[in-house]
Amino acid sequence: MSSQAGNAAKRDFISRFSDWSLRWVPDSMVFVLALSVLVYFMALGLTPSGPVQIVDHWVKGFWVLLTFAMQMCILMITGFVVADSRQVRGLLKKLALIPKTPGQAIISFSLLVGFLWWVHWGVGYMAGIMLGRELVVAQRGKKLHYAAVAAAVYAGIVVANGPSMAAQLLVATPGHFIEKVVGVIPLSLTTFDPILMAMNLVLLVSIPFVFYLLLPKNPVEADEKIIKEFTEAEKQQVDKSGMTPAQRWDRSPVFMWIVSLAGLFWVGKFFVTKGIVNLDLNTLNFTFLVIGALLHGTPDSFMESVKRATGTVFGVIIQFPFYAGIFGMISYSGLAKIFANWFVAISTPETFPFIVFVYSGFLNFFVPSGGSKFVIEAPYILPAAQQLGANVNYVINAYTSGDLTTNLLQPFWALPVLGAFRLTFRDILPYGLVICLWSVLVISVTYIVFMH
């Protein structure tokens, strides 16, 4: 009886938390506008800049990050295009047939999706959704809990602190907006730091078993309507007999293969001569661009996939200039130095990375985008790290860790998986809450004990 009461209380808490989030957390555009107003008044009250001068700072910064915005759009699109290719889809169908029991399915699925998230978060997310849907069909009648599969797709985000993370890639790219402060920092000192790699490995291996332990005793499988949707037939082959010459060229692989193979040759030369640790944002984007082009094979298939992918980047396109405007007010008014001094006052070189992890996780509730938020935080947390004598590389890693972890508690990035599985945020939140708490424990120990 007490166990039933405890479960009811837990469900009530989860439901209330989910309802609050869905009811009170507005669209990210609202947050960027509200933050713009907040930063304006902070600059007005804390710096010598006057009201018109702060508007000048805002406009001055508005367009300074167009390159970064385009890089982020390409990063998201190329990951989607690779995962959306016929070859990847076919491989995922075969992988879905391997597990024989629900336990095997959730462990192997969570492990693979987490690894893909680490390699490239766009690939991990899209491939996770596709594989998850195939897994639901393949495990039909074997009592695999449907919501757990969707939750496992999203939970992979915790392990995504790898080669595709915006902050690490940005500071590794020559000419980035904060280069005058920290210089160019290669991935060998951030993403491929041995301590961060070990922490990611612990999370990657442990999270699948946490999911296994969380599987309910009375699982709820996908209903017939969902199964039918997931098993819809592929599009019929297009009859080429009536095509115009232009349509035939659209579906010809000739030029696509010539250009893509040239690009792939350059990518191979880069990795042989410079290695993966010298990867930067432009090189990663170019790599996935040519891989996606090769996998799709024809301009028609490639561009159709790109069209589907562009639905994921509209927020970046229009919101990044506003974040750049916030960056302008913080940087040019003197707020950055004031914020940096606040952090220095409450930190030591040893505690600063952990403090950044907590702060980044909190701010992520209001600015749920690693790239956008880094534009706001970098002008003061990185100078504060240097002023304290803290390890700047650890601080950048801590920033990303905090940003990724609390994603599990808010619905912004969960929307694609919720739409794909026809679920609500409430359905996956119980898993996300437990995974978040476990991740906070692992990451906190890492930064407090090892990264200082």
User: Is there a domain that residue 270 lies in?
Assistant: yes
User: Is there a domain that residue 15 lies in?
Assistant: no
User: Is there a domain that residue 222 lies in?
Assistant: yes
Cα within 13 Å of Cα(129), Cβ side? 18
Question: What does the pLDDT profile of the chain (452 residues) look like in tens digits?
Answer: 455 555 555 455 555 655 666 677 666 678 788 889 999 999 999 999 999 999 999 999 999 888 888 888 898 889 889 888 889 888 988 999 999 999 999 999 999 999 999 999 888 888 898 899 889 999 888 889 899 999 999 999 999 999 999 899 999 999 888 899 999 999 999 999 999 999 999 999 999 999 999 888 888 888 888 888 777 644 545 566 678 888 888 889 999 999 999 999 999 999 999 988 888 889 999 999 999 999 999 999 999 989 888 876 777 788 888 988 998 999 899 998 898 999 999 999 999 999 999 999 988 877 766 677 888 889 999 999 999 999 999 999 999 999 999 989 877 678 778 877 888 888 888 899 999 999 999 999 999 998 77
Domain total in the chain: 1
User: Is there a domain that residue 349 lies in?
Assistant: yes
35 residue type, one letter: L
- How is residue 60 written in tokens? 């001055």
User: Is there a domain that residue 6 lies in?
Assistant: no
Range of the domain at 173: 24-230+250-450
User: Is there a domain that residue 13 lies in?
Assistant: no
Task: Return all residues near 56 (Cβ < 8 A) that are at least 6 apart.
Answer: none
User: Is there a domain that residue 243 lies in?
Assistant: no
CA-closest candidate to residue 36, choices 73, 12, 62, 10: 62
* Cα–Cα distance for residue pair 69/90, rounded to 1 Å: 32
Q: How far is CA 69 from CA 214, 235, 372, 440, in A?
A: 39, 34, 9, 29
Cβ atoms within 10 Å of 274's Cβ, excluding its own: 12
Cα angle value 174/178/181 (rounded, 5°)? 105
User: Is there a domain that residue 2 lies in?
Assistant: no
